[in-house]
Structure 1
């Protein structure tokens, strides 16, 4: 029996086999979910001019520095400024300009008094409170200076970053291409959703649908190839399409059964197998290899939980690397165990499904009851993996443990 590959070695092999994909220029809205392949500088100072942070009155600090409810400063109103105004009004000694949020600060003014601390009558404004010089004024360039980088290469473009790109007048941006990822489930026993069950031994296929969604949520472009029977010729025909994709994923056919053909057929299509079988639980029967230039093959287990775990631990960081992401792994935190966790076999590192939450300044972790590799319900309600290292049979309530957040 071949030796099991430790997870760290498997991760090293995968990440040494992959690099960011080629780049492309995309329109602002098409950049969502992509990763920047360039630094993005600001086109101008932001803000471009001193402007008001409040609705109120633009004044000279010297005119209002002693104002109070009992002894208000009385200033002559000489005009009004709104956002986008083109009018030019100067604030001289003893005068004020009515101003709205975002409007330029008039020449001569250096402070804005919010409207709620004022009263207007007879063409004059009464200032009823003193403010520090510069209060409620947004200064030119205080957010960012012209030429300063606002988004760096490898930064993920979320909705916030789309807003920033628009803010610095970038309609088109250079990003790493999203990987095309094929998904194929294998097995004579599998039924598609909606297909009539004719024999009790038939089971509903969930893996290729789960993987489709996991790929999409990871930033890849999934391509659904459906279900292939345990027929070497048919399998080989589908596997030969691997050249059309950056990553090709199969589920099933990589264990020790006499109909587990995938592990043998991949070599016929030119896949250089790097490892087969991991020292983890679940997801022991994982096959990984490379083909073409910067193309990856993952043979994942047929058991649905094993399939999901293998994706999170190995395929996810591979996709993120292809995307040019700066962070390719899921987040790890330390949590306090809320109940005991025991197991009989401690030879492999285990990734137990768990529920993690934050309470009173710390993360708490509750291992879920169902942990068998065929029980897809163990993912329902889970939001993390509890990591149980090799040689550990028992974790006690109150212990600090390592968890990987989904």
Structure 2
């Protein structure tokens, strides 16, 4: 089957049309951190749930201080003490006050708190020399969060802070998507598992690279192994059960006698989606689908894997994980760039925050070795053919570190 090379935008569209978010599960907020919300997450109760004190001091009814002055202080008998953990307390009788600590619930009959440093206690009584206002040093029910307030919208990432707020509002379970399973295969008889490479064998660095990038989008890597240059060996890995949501391969996408990945995939039952994308690196990328499993075959050079993961694979993984689509960053170029006519150029760059602006330094050129630039890159700049950019110009950048 002959497939025509397509643009990156069309390639992503074809992949995303076949993406289905992973299964929805119910988890406590503490176990949902990093996962995608499968529904809007709402506060379970108001915070605070009842009026509480904002200071260490004394709770009382403001009306009991209405006539207080230096010449004629109000004297209120102190009855008991309330802590933050106090479950219930006796109603406050007129003409009395109760010792209360920060976070303590106001008793019935009290509507304000006077800070301990603003009054004096004498012989078990509170001496007030100025009137107080209702609400003084108190926080009413729902002052921080109202019951059913939106904490996190569907498709958002459950952050530690969102999970903490959900837990505080007594939300027992939240609906989230399970992490999608990914299988990663590095094709090449010269490759060995990264921690087992000896003389004559090359560490399969693409397994480390692709696994790390996949994990940053919320995926779980079920296996990451090298596969020798044998179509049958590759086919066995492609159809091995249980089938993952996505298979990523690197190597074997060129035109030599050992570049058999696409043919092996089709023999294994993968229906081709495209073979060839109008971008560099990555013009030989193949994608297919078998039942519910997507497969994307990337070139072998690590720089190409890094670029193609950002350009094609990471949006797919985010969709499978249930995250809402994310727009590219807008960055300011630190150096000039020119993309020659022909194919879209995926430029590795280092994005950083400087003076409240995101700046991107391209990692290319004769003085920047490929592997060294890869170690410093955290984003990709996709440049259309013939694009010329000067320092200070704005451009889109793709990076899992800055998803919105």
TM interval, shorter chain, is 0.7 to 0.9
2:130 and 2:356 mapped to 1: Cα distance? 41
Secondary structure at the residue paired with 1:208?
Answer: helix
2:129 and 2:382 mapped to 1: Cα distance? 62
Is 1:134 the counterpart of 2:130? The answer is: no
1:126 and 1:17 mapped to 2: Cα distance? 73
Match of residue 333 from structure 1:
329
Secondary structure at the residue paired with 1:96?
Answer: strand
Match of residue 303 from structure 2:
305
Residue from 73, 89, 92 that aligns with 1:90: 92
State the shift of 1:370 in Å: 5.5
State the shift of 1:142 in Å: 2.9
Distance change (3 Å), C-alpha of 1:359 and 1:128: farther
1:126 and 1:368 mapped to 2: Cα distance? 71
1:378 and 1:388 mapped to 2: Cα distance? 18
Match of residue 386 from structure 1:
381
**TM-score computed with the length of structure 1 as normaliser:** 0.86
State the shift of 1:221 in Å: 1.3
Alignment of 1:95-110 (within 5 A): 95-110=96-111
Asked if the contact 2:46/2:169 (under 8 Å) is kept, the reply is: no
Is 1:397 the counterpart of 2:397? The answer is: no
Match of residue 9 from structure 1:
10
**Higher deviation after alignment, 104-113 or 188-197:** 188-197
Secondary structure at the residue paired with 2:283?
Answer: coil
Alignment of 1:337-376 (within 5 A): 337-343=333-339, 345-369=340-364, 375-376=370-371
Distance change (3 Å), C-alpha of 1:34 and 1:358: closer
1:131 and 1:284 mapped to 2: Cα distance? 75
State the shift of 1:291 in Å: 1.4
**TM-score computed with the length of structure 2 as normaliser:** 0.86
Is 1:314 the counterpart of 2:312? The answer is: yes
1:350 and 1:67 mapped to 2: Cα distance? 78
Match of residue 278 from structure 1:
277
Asked if the contact 1:190/1:203 (under 8 Å) is kept, the reply is: yes
Distance change (3 Å), C-alpha of 1:388 and 1:67: farther
Asked if the contact 1:304/1:373 (under 8 Å) is kept, the reply is: no
Asked if the contact 2:8/2:312 (under 8 Å) is kept, the reply is: no
Is 1:229 the counterpart of 2:225? The answer is: no
Asked if the contact 1:154/1:324 (under 8 Å) is kept, the reply is: yes
Secondary structure at the residue paired with 2:164?
Answer: helix
State the shift of 1:63 in Å: 5.2
Alignment of 1:57-206 (within 5 A): 57-62=58-63, 74-76=74-76, 77-85=78-86, 86-90=88-92, 92-93=94-95, 95-126=96-127, 133-199=134-200, 203-206=202-205
1:192 and 1:383 mapped to 2: Cα distance? 24
Asked if the contact 1:357/1:365 (under 8 Å) is kept, the reply is: yes
Structure 1 residues 110-160: Cα deviation after superposition (integer angstroms, max 9, x where no partner): 222333333334334455787654132211133344455544433322322
1:333 and 1:6 mapped to 2: Cα distance? 20
Structure 1 residues 224-249: Cα deviation after superposition (integer angstroms, max 9, x where no partner): 24111111222222222166211111
1:371 and 1:144 mapped to 2: Cα distance? 56
Asked if the contact 1:370/1:378 (under 8 Å) is kept, the reply is: no
Distance change (3 Å), C-alpha of 1:183 and 1:130: farther
State the shift of 1:351 in Å: 2.8
Secondary structure at the residue paired with 2:398?
Answer: strand
Equivalent residues, number:
397
Is 1:266 the counterpart of 2:261? The answer is: no
User: Unpaired segments of 5 or more residues in structure 1?
Assistant: none
1:72 and 1:274 mapped to 2: Cα distance? 88
State the shift of 1:35 in Å: 2.2
Asked if the contact 2:60/2:92 (under 8 Å) is kept, the reply is: no
Distance change (3 Å), C-alpha of 1:42 and 1:335: closer
